[in-house]
Structure 1
Amino acid sequence: MISWYFFALLALLLMGIQRFFYKVAAEKKYPTEWVTFSFMATVTLLSTGVYFFQQHHELNIIWLMTMSLINSASFLVATVSHIEALKYIPANIAYSIIRLNVVVVAGFSIFYFKEQISLFQGIGLLVAVAAMIVLTIQMRENTKKTKQGRRGAVFILLALLCGATASISSKFAAMHVDKLAFIALSYLMGMIGSLGITRALSYDKAKKKRSAAMGLGVVMGGFNFAGFYAFLYALECGPLSLVAAIVGMHFVIAIVLSAIIYRENIKPAGLVGIFLTVISIILIRI
């Protein structure tokens, strides 16, 4: 039997590639609402189709509806905030700070699920906080316009908190409901919700790029469906704090791809922040 660790690593790879496409959407200035809608519609269709070809347990409707609603709302806000943050802040900073939602997830799993925390894991949490401080300082130095800095910081905070909520709700779903049904319903709700975000976003939309934006969303959806299913399987078999910490490393893939393809410079402070972030993940999973 394949271990939860393998599926956590698989989710790390697939979600890392998918997160890089957030940067592509921001760089191409694609309308966020259409990228998000197409992305979530693709996952909904894939999970629904696979659901009818798989054996599954009897559905727990109450848990399914509750967890799907919480997950879809939090993930939608996290996705939109993530893409919007990248329009104001370099990818190496944004990805690193947002990834620190693992600290929130680890704290919840320790207090709620009574998962034991070692000395190294405690040190890892402190190192993660240090990484956030270093990266926040660099964000202020790199941002020329104060207004953009504040706006980017708000989007990053939303992405961090909502990302943590999505991970925690996924753990409950993996424990109590059918994974494919959860993915299908959660993303269906998110898809519907994405239709209402157009007026909420202040960024100038380019209607001519709608087709390209939806095409990118389809690609993102394929990677996310496979990655999210692997993530849920890992959560079903493994501890939330460790799985979340491993999958949280996906930001490294996105940063490397952004540096290679878009030639984003990673300054010394950014390297220190990224290094501390990686160290925090290693310590948290010990």
Structure 2
Amino acid sequence: MSRPEHHPDAPEQAYTDFTRSLSYGDYLQLDTLKSAHRPVTTAHDEHLFIAVHHVSEVWLELIIRELRAAMAQLEAGITDAPLKGLTRVVRAQEQLTNAWEVLKTMTPADYLQFRHAFGQASGFQSAAYRMVEFLLGNRFEALLRPHEHRPDLHGPLQEAMQAPSVYDLTLRLVAARGLSIPQAVLNRDLSQPPVLNEDVLAAWLQVYRDPAHYWDLYELAEKLLDVEDNFRRWRFNHMTTVERTIGFKRGSGGTSGAAYLRRALDTVLFPELWEIRTRL
């Protein structure tokens, strides 16, 4: 009898006994992960809907972690190391944006089979997404209300709303380098979103007109623009996905749906970094 050939997919000396060590599934706690995937209807596409939102929440948590790490470095006066974390944020944002492309394969008829089942639940209520917005500087007191029933979520969000954003920390670095940033900006009410300031714009103009001298600040500014660029793309894809699925019906969480998302596209996180393109 001839000896059976070795199967090419069977790696030699691979571990197969996990009675005393962590397996792949154990390490990632896949049983726990899969147990959270619990559709409430028999609709086929509800599985897709839950999977896309679960994956998006995981990416959002990673973005929060990387933003916080980069912000801690900025607060310590470091300008180069945060670029790595912010680059990782950009790559994670790309994954978030691409997730909408998968969800767009769901037709309006598919969605209507289960939309009624989750009541008033809405992505608008995502605490992780709200934290990302707050860290980037988009802040309004009313955005905290959906989380008042959960002190464990409301507390960290409220704290983030009163702390410097990634752009506030960047402007403090710009000031530390001897460029003129008004005290009114450095000591502004952090619970409010940023507004364009001509003196801040003048400081950035110095950086952009002499990038060789201010290379670290110049590179940091461009990386922040990458983050906001991807933030806008995510919002745009969100809006078009909603329009394709429910048109201009009211959103499940009570917002005006696509109309609300369309207005949100006007949000500007780092106003001077966009305006400088016009002024140079």
**Is the TM value for this pair above 0.5?**
no
TM-score (norm 1): 0.26
TM-score (norm 2): 0.26
